[in-house]
Amino acid sequence: MIYNVIHGLHSFLMSHMLEWCTSYQTLHLTMWLCLVITFYVIIAGLLKMLSLFKYREQNGPLSFCKAIEENDLVSCVRLIENYPQYINKFTSDGADITLKSNKNESPFYLATFYYIKYPQYKNATCIRELYYSGADINEPNGNGFTPLQLAAMFGHTPLVKWLLLKNASTNCTPDPYLIATTQGHQDTARLIWKFTTGFSLKYK
């Protein structure tokens, strides 16, 4: 890639430099000077990217601990999205994924809430990692709402489908189908109805 950039710049300079320089020696010197500067800029950029990557890897745990101390849910979930290995590491070290917030919200429920509230991130890594770590996807919050009911309320059809495929229970009150219907999410309601009446859902 770097070779292609330098080669392209070399060809550009050779074809346009005669307009700027009056002698071949000046042309040759200017051309090599530009190439050296370009090569330096490319190398400096690559080194900066590498150092930034190392900095993020080294300071990720510190940022996560700081977010926990400040009770910053958004930052916590975002860090887990960027570093999904945290969940595996924490659970393997004995972390209790059944612990709840002061509002009686499980980690899985909070991850679902974050995924619905911030759709611009479009990253369900945290939800998947918690599920495969053994989180209870039917655990309700303090108001008795499960992740499936929450997804139905906001008409998040892809999440509803994923939860149903993971055997999320529809036997809860209020009924997820009724929630989606009353909120005007007809596609979501139709999906839940098909599932509860025996239609098979397939992965996409």
Q: Which of 97-101, 149-153, 167-171, 200-204 has the lowest mean pLDDT?
A: 200-204
Number of domains in the chain: 1
Q: What tokens does 181 get? A: 């219907």
**Residue 102: partners with Cβ closer than 8 Å, 6 or more residues away:** none
Q: Does a structural domain hold residue 64? A: yes
Residue 63: band (very low, low, confident or very high) from pLDDT cuts 50, 70, 90: confident
Q: Does a structural domain hold residue 41? A: yes
The pTM score is 0.63
pLDDT in tens, 139-153: 999 999 999 999 999
Task: Note whether 160 and 195 are within 8 A (CB).
Answer: no
Q: Does a structural domain hold residue 185? A: no
Q: What tokens does 9 get? A: 């710049």
> For residues 165 and 45, which has the higher predicted lDDT (pLDDT)?
165
Q: Does a structural domain hold residue 22? A: yes
pLDDT in tens, 72-111: 767 777 777 677 667 777 777 777 888 888 888 998 998 8
- Report whether pLDDT(28) > 70: no
Closest CA to 191 of 201, 182, 183: 201
Q: Does a structural domain hold residue 31? A: yes
Q: Does a structural domain hold residue 160? A: no
> For residues 59 and 176, which has the higher predicted lDDT (pLDDT)?
176
- Across residues 156-174, what is the average pLDDT? 95
Question: Which residue segment(s) compose the domain that 5 sits in?
Answer: 1-70
Task: Note whether 167 and 189 are within 8 A (CB).
Answer: no
Q: Does a structural domain hold residue 18? A: yes
Residues in the chain: 204
> For residues 198 and 157, which has the higher predicted lDDT (pLDDT)?
157
Closest CA to 151 of 120, 123, 111: 111
- Across residues 164-173, what is the average pLDDT? 94
Task: Note whether 78 and 111 are within 8 A (CB).
Answer: no
- Report whether pLDDT(132) > 50: yes
